[in-house]
A and B are shown apart, each in its own frame.
Chain A
Amino acid sequence: MPLSSIDRLESALTDAGYLPDRGLSTALFVSLKIGKPLLLEGEAGVGKTEAAKAVASLLGARLIRLQCYEGLDVSQAVYEWNYARQLLHIRAAQDGTVDEAELFGSDFLIRRPLLEAVESEEPVVLLIDEIDRADEEFEAFLLETLSDFQITIPEIGTITAKRQPHVILTSNRMRELHDALKRRCLFHWIGHPALDREVEIVKMRVPEASARLAAQAAAFVAGLRELDLAKPPGLAETIDWTQALVALGTQELDSAVVEQTLGAVLKYHEDVLAVRDETLAGLVAQARAR
């Protein structure tokens, strides 16, 4: 049972391909144990979404993901009526034999992630991704859903969750979330991993890379984070980049190959300009010295 202790959960996460630190394991463990949503915050690319996927996989639960964006509304997040089917149904039926109750029944309902999670009979991990992108109105709505796991559809009535889904929310801190929402959640801040852990993660995620390349790539990215960049690379960039290096048959970092592949790590033109010539050579030398 992965949920009998923090150690067990930690090794189950590792088996699921996610290398957590003790803090994240504890936060996930407590959240699963006491049945409260967990809010994961951190810079982009530190593995917030991946953590939710790993939890779903180790629990054998279905992962339902709601990707938030500005303007997200109930018809995209909860449910929508299938209007085309409704109209066809009215036309196909004899005059006057269709009543409203039939028309707005569950046959004509399109289920979106939140409704799906509440209705599900099997265990579910509900990932509400990048909640900070959604509008504040949606946050208020979400608050209601998270507090009692029920959804009201005017034409049908209230649907209550048969089993409470495990909820993980992620936020990049584009804006501060409402206190009321935070009160409903446990909180964990994921920072950039320590160098040794990052090397381990890269080795795990890119098994084709040699141990030496993984260590050098992680050290190089760690060096980049020390610089004053518009967007310091996250763990996700280290992994992408190592994959690119492996695809090019790289055994060891050198200035030429780094220059060719830097686009996998740095996403702003200014940053690419800032990391050139001596800066780049210095970082490569530093990474190779490990």
Chain B
Amino acid sequence: MPASAVVRHVVTFARVLREAGLEVGPGRVADALRGLDAVELTRRDDVYWTLRSTLVSRREELETFDLAFQAWFLGAAVRPQLRLISGQVPPPGAPGLTPAPAAAQELDGGDREVGGYSADELLAHKDFGEMSHEEFERARKLIAAIATKRPRRRSRRLRATGKRGESLHLRGLVRASLATGGDPVHRAFRSRVLKPRKLLLILDVSGSMESYARALLLFLHAAQGSGRGVETFAFGTRLTRLTPDLASRDPETALALAARQVADWSGGTRIGFSLKAYNDGWGRRALTRGAVAVILSDGWEREDDALVGRETARLARQAFAVVWVNPLKGDPRYEPLAGGMRAALPHIDRFVTGHDVASLETLASLLGDIDRRHEA
């Protein structure tokens, strides 16, 4: 073991890193000490690399580590502003999510039971853009209850399925053949099982989507809760990854965190630019490959329609299927005239609406049923 001064130094340094949001457990500290024991402590960069390879576990932490290392070991004059990575406390009342105290409340008269329909059924067909504050509060419970269906794929893994199935269960067959002198009389089978397919949701939160973005964000949160392999993003003028924030079970916390992440809430729209940012930064890491990709946007591009087409095509080449959810499509008179929407259309597999609770339910079951790329 290194001298006790070194031990104290490293242990304290690990605490600094923990405060900065790195996950540095006692195991990593022990590794660091064993590592330092093995290298000579004469070269500063050897100490740096040893601590870095033992105390850091992901690329995002490298910058924080470097700052902390500088401050701690190289005696940088000021304690640096450490960027928090996790464990953030959600702010009370995040922008965009707390609905404006709607003056519409007085308009929200007695619509509890009308003509035999329950209030929920009526609410399910009410456009999000026309809901009062109170109606929206009820709608969010309905939304939270849907979106649990996931598209599925056949895994490569085989499970024993008894006397019927896709391929012989050879281990079982050999064992059964012992009794029959090596003749495979009793056959056992195995089949592929269905597993949830990756699901990717990209939500437009720009100004033109303002009436729908809150409700759709709730849908994203519900989808995020449906298990592993779900990735969520939001964009206005730039792209933000929401997956870690929406992962929280508690919708209030999750939505507050997500809203704080999205810097350009209700601002302009750069669909093409944002899709490109996704394709470059995340699609390249094969997040898209084999996934069902869902874009929730009105297709109202402010900058470059052709780019929207190109980047949607890129997404479609990698994804299993692309679903475009456009709340405007809820209006029967709607025609996809917006330039961005028109450019994207040829590359989309399913084009649906998402302007009320009922249409989100339809979307959820559509996602659960997608079993081939293009609509027949």
Contacts and interface: CB of A to CB of B under 8 A. Distances in A.
Nearest to B62: A189
Contacts of B23: 179
B156 A73 contact: yes
B27 interface: yes
Given A34-B35, A71-B155, A183-B25, A100 B53 contact: no
A187 B46 contact: no
B33 to A, nearest CB: 9
B333 interface: no
A87 interface: yes
Interface residues of A, number: 52
Interface stretch (A90-98, A119-127, A218-226, A250-258): A90-98
B125 interface: no
B239 interface: no
A29 B39 contact: yes
A129 interface: no
A185 B56 CA distance: 10
Interface string B163-191: 00000001101110110011110000000
A27 B157 CA distance: 35
B181 A95 contact: yes
A43 B369 CA distance: 35
B349 to A, nearest CB: 21
A95 B314 CA distance: 63
A6 B46 contact: yes
A188 B39 contact: no
Interface string A208-240: 000000000000000000001011000000000
A73 B52 CA distance: 33
Nearest to B53: A27
Nearest to A73: B157
B49 interface: yes
Nearest to B276: A228
A101 to B, nearest CB: 11
B273 to A, nearest CB: 11
Contact of B284 (A31, A98, A175, A230): A230
A156 to B, nearest CB: 13
Contacts of A172: 285-286
Contacts, number: 123
Contacts of A270: 314
A6 B35 CA distance: 12
A90 B175 CA distance: 10
A189 to B, nearest CB: 5
B53 A88 contact: no
B126 to A, nearest CB: 39
A86 interface: yes
Contacts of B170: 81, 83
B34 interface: yes
B57 A86 contact: no
A176 B58 contact: yes
Contact of B52 (A23, A33, A89, A95): A23
A136 interface: yes
Contact of A70 (B25, B52, B156): B156
A252 B153 CA distance: 51
A90 B53 contact: no
A186 B228 contact: no
Interface string B146-157: 000000000111
Contacts of B45: 22-23, 26
Residue with the greatest number of chain A CB neighbours at <10 A, chosen from B52, B53, B285: B53
A178 to B, nearest CB: 11
Contacts of B112: none
Contacts of A106: none
A172 B286 CA distance: 10
Contact of B181 (A86, A90, A103): A90
Contacts of B177: 87, 90
A261 interface: no
Contacts of B38: 29-30, 33-34
Contact of A187 (B34, B58, B181, B280): B58
Contacts of A86: 174
Given A172-B285, A174-B287, A36 B31 contact: yes
B211 interface: no
Contact of B27 (A100, A174, A183): A183
A152 interface: no
A188 B65 CA distance: 13
B362 interface: no
B279 A81 contact: no
Contacts of B31: 30, 34, 36, 186
B28 A87 contact: no
A41 interface: yes
A182 interface: yes
A5 interface: yes
Given A33-B35, A34-B35, A183 B155 contact: no
Contact of A26 (B49, B173, B184): B49
B182 A88 contact: yes
Interface of A: 5-6, 22-23, 25-27, 29-31, 33-34, 36, 38, 41, 70-71, 73, 81, 83, 86-92, 95, 98-100, 103, 135-137, 172-176, 179, 182-183, 185-189, 228, 230-231, 270
Given A6-B39, A86-B174, 11 more contacts: A26-B45, A26-B49, A26-B53, A27-B53, A30-B54, A87-B184, A98-B178, A175-B287, A186-B31, A188-B53, A231-B284
The list of the 9 closest CB pairs from A to B, nearest first, reads A71-B156, A90-B182, A91-B182, A26-B49, A33-B38, A27-B53, A30-B35, A83-B170, A182-B57
24 contacts: A5-B40, A6-B39, A23-B52, A26-B46, A30-B31, A31-B53, A34-B31, A34-B34, A34-B38, A38-B53, A71-B155, A83-B170, A83-B173, A91-B183, A99-B178, A100-B178, A103-B178, A135-B155, A172-B285, A183-B57, A187-B56, A228-B280, A230-B279, A230-B314
